[in-house]
Amino acid sequence: MTAIPQERRLVTAVPGPRSLELQARREAVVAAGVASTLPVFAARAGGGILEDVDGNRLIDFGSGIAVTTVGASAEAVVRRATAQLADFTHTCFMVTPYEGYVEVCEKLAELTPGDHAKKSALFNSGAEAVENAVKIARSWTKRQAVVVFDHAYHGRTNLTMALTSKNMPYKNGFGPFAPEIYRVPVAYGYRWPTGPENCGAEASAQAIDQITKQIGAENVAAIIIEPVLGEGGFIEPAKGFLPALARFAKDHGIVFVADEIQSGFCRTGQWFASEDEGLVPDLVTTAKGIAGGLPLAAVTGRAEIMDAAHASGLGGTYGGNPVACAAALGAIETMRELDLVARARRIEEIMKDRLSAMREKYDVIGDVRGRGAMIAIELVKDRGTKEPDPATTGALAKACHAEGLLVLTCGTYGNVLRFLPPLVIGEDLLNEGLDVLESALAALPDAS
């Protein structure tokens, strides 16, 4: 495999003629409900570059939504997955098991927070992992209620749609949803009425009060939260919020579940975002960055809780596929060898410095936040009112795309530009991507 030159290159408009041809074919046979951020068709990807079928090379600030953390063609991932492909593609672990599944579970026991005995079960997607975490928590506690938070995103299956906060596009018209799901406030510092300095204590008190009064702690099987909220807007819960919820859960026999699907595997400058405040969840859900782009997910947690489900109560035909497990071992190898935890911290340093300077210059940027290589800017019409500005957010993303920078939007209000570069991106490409963003900001009609 020839390495892709690590340089931005535009040879056609974005999208180019070949991508437009493929788009026409797509529209004839692919369901309209499956949308794409940018209709350029990929030909190759690696490092910090995505090359399309027209030969354009885009700087990748998306990583396939935090999936290609180690790059889209990491040597160890390709090597291990290729070797496994040659041996066998599938036996179904529930029929005849294989070592790769066990080895991935051993790595998860080692890497996830806490030094207690842990076990894992492997699945295909993040939503599947979250759904199985609920099954496990209900089996362990013999309770039914599940607590989730404002701005949460946990997936698109029926149960995880119920857990997800945002209606459009994830839930609209797809109900009825699963019962016994309860939503409480999250510590969103930028938008907290009394200011970020009060947010952690006040939000945790409100959440605990609502759980206690409206549900009853003795009825709650699980509290599920993303340590850094992803689709909801890259919200870092204000300090103190997560530990308060974890203490409450422990005191009342509630399973505390950290959804690390987007924030895990070095993305935030730690192996897992929970480590930031010393959080040791009972269960951790992982996917996305776990396997270098192949479909794999996991629930990892306290051995006694993980063993609560009866034999054959967990599983799935493809869960822990041997090729995906091999890829995961290659991804973890790469993370360790390249010290991607440190690389994520360096990316944060560069991005926050640049983005904070842009905030000083452009009033449309209300907030700069995030950790590691999970960074975002929130765009507002007015800094005083903090009124969300989704139109400008969309226009800014489109302008970046046209100049060869792949960026993603998110947020409950659609007004957050999120940055998820591969952790192997070169600093020159990272800075060039930020240059493109700054030029796009400067070209906005009301740029200040």
- What is the pTM (predicted TM-score) of this model? 0.97
- pLDDT grade for 446, boundaries at 50, 70 and 90: confident
Whole-number pLDDT of residue 445: 87
Mean pLDDT of 95-106: 98
Residue 49, pLDDT > 80, answer yes
Specify whether the CB–CB gap between 369 and 375 falls below 8 A. yes
Mean pLDDT of 146-152: 98
Whole-number pLDDT of residue 213: 98
Mean pLDDT of 23-28: 97
Report residue 356 as tokens. 């904070």
CA-based nearest residue to 265, from 303, 297, 222 = 297
Mean pLDDT of 184-188: 98
- What confidence tens digit (pLDDT) does each residue in 300-334 have? 999 999 999 999 999 999 999 999 999 999 999 99
Whole-number pLDDT of residue 379: 98
- What confidence tens digit (pLDDT) does each residue in 428-438 have? 999 999 999 99
Q: Is 280 exposed, middle or buried (0-12, 13-18, 19+ CB in 10 A)?
A: middle
Residue 447, pLDDT > 80, answer no
Whole-number pLDDT of residue 448: 61
Q: What is the identity of the amino acid at 71?
A: G
Specify whether the CB–CB gap between 425 and 417 falls below 8 A. no
Residue 65, pLDDT > 70, answer yes
Specify whether the CB–CB gap between 258 and 230 falls below 8 A. no
Show the beta-strand stretches assigned E in 140-230: 145-149, 181-184, 220-225
Separation of alpha carbons 331 and 290, rounded Å: 7
For 383, other C-beta atoms within 10 Å of its C-beta total: 13
Mean pLDDT of 342-356: 98
What is the CA angle 23-69-342, rounded to 5?
A: 150
Residue 2, pLDDT > 90, answer no
220-225 and 145-149 beta bridge pairing: parallel
**What letters, b where the CB count within 10 A reaches 16 and e where it falls short, cover 57-96?**
bbbbbbbbbbbbbbbbbbbbbbebbeebeeeeeeebbeee
Whole-number pLDDT of residue 1: 53
Separation of alpha carbons 176 and 182, rounded Å: 15
Residue 340, pLDDT > 70, answer yes
Whole-number pLDDT of residue 96: 98
- Average pLDDT value for the chain: 97
CA-based nearest residue to 231, from 167, 185, 294 = 167
- What confidence tens digit (pLDDT) does each residue in 239-291 have? 999 999 999 999 999 999 999 999 999 999 999 999 999 999 999 999 999 99
Own/partner long-range contacts of 242-251 (Cβ < 8 Å, ≥24 apart): 242/274, 242/277, 242/279, 243/277, 243/278, 243/279, 244/200, 244/201, 244/204, 244/205, 244/208, 245/204, 245/207, 245/208, 246/279, 246/280, 246/281, 248/204, 248/208, 248/211, 248/217, 248/223, 249/223, 249/282
